[in-house]
Amino acid sequence: MKRIDAPNATDERTMLNAWLDWHRSTVLLKCEDLSDELAQRPLLPSSPLMTVAGLVSHLRWVEQSWFEQVMLGEPDIGPWTDDDPDKDFKVPGVPLTRILEDYERQCVRSREIAAALDLDTEAVVERERGRVTLRWLLLHMIEETARHNGHLDLLREMLDGVTGD
């Protein structure tokens, strides 16, 4: 997996999309050559849901929720429930390759949605946030994906010693 660096100077839309894609590619890099057994292994007693597989699944569902549900007004199809709000992290027995394929497919769909909308397109978030723009959403997804890349980086080093960008 090779990442394409974001350009140093370009228009806002290109820059936002390039940085988000850079972080999406980093997710894939962090998972390269990791076994299913290691991808499912929890390492933190205080956060047993934080596994490599669980984080990638979570990122997939976050992409779906923000781009499809919030920006397009489509139904909430995420796995979470009121009784289990963290169910998107729970993927026992699901091969990492399938989780990564689902994530990549969702990223393609998110890119299509973003490309079809103006940066100033507004949507209402049912939670307490209120109205957001596509611009806000792209920045939020950069932050969300980057934060979880940090988690993936630490987990990967703890699991098998692999470090890197």
Residue 136 structure tokens: 């806000």
pTM comes to 0.95
Residue 36 pLDDT: 98
Residue with tokens 């549900």: 69
With residue 69 as reference, give the H or E element that holds it. Answer: none
Residue 161 pLDDT: 95
Residue 37 pLDDT: 97
Query: 41 pLDDT exceeds 80?
Result: yes
Q: Report the largest interatomic distance among the alpha carbons of the chain, rounded to a whole angstrom.
A: 46
Supply the Cα-derived Rg of the chain in whole angstroms. Answer: 16
What is the arithmetic mean of pLDDT over 94-120? 98
Residue 5 pLDDT: 85
What is the arithmetic mean of pLDDT over 133-153? 97
Q: pLDDT-based confidence at 117, cuts 50/70/90? A: very high
Residue type (1 letter), 85: P
Query: 30 pLDDT exceeds 70?
Result: yes
91 closest CA partner among 136, 129, 49, 150 = 49
Mean pLDDT of the chain: 94
Residue 105 structure tokens: 């497919």
Query: 1 pLDDT exceeds 70?
Result: no
Q: What is the dihedral of CA 30, 31, 32, 37, to 10 degrees?
A: 140
Q: pLDDT-based confidence at 165, cuts 50/70/90? A: confident
Residue type (1 letter), 134: L
Residue 66 structure tokens: 């923000």
Q: pLDDT-based confidence at 129, cuts 50/70/90? A: confident
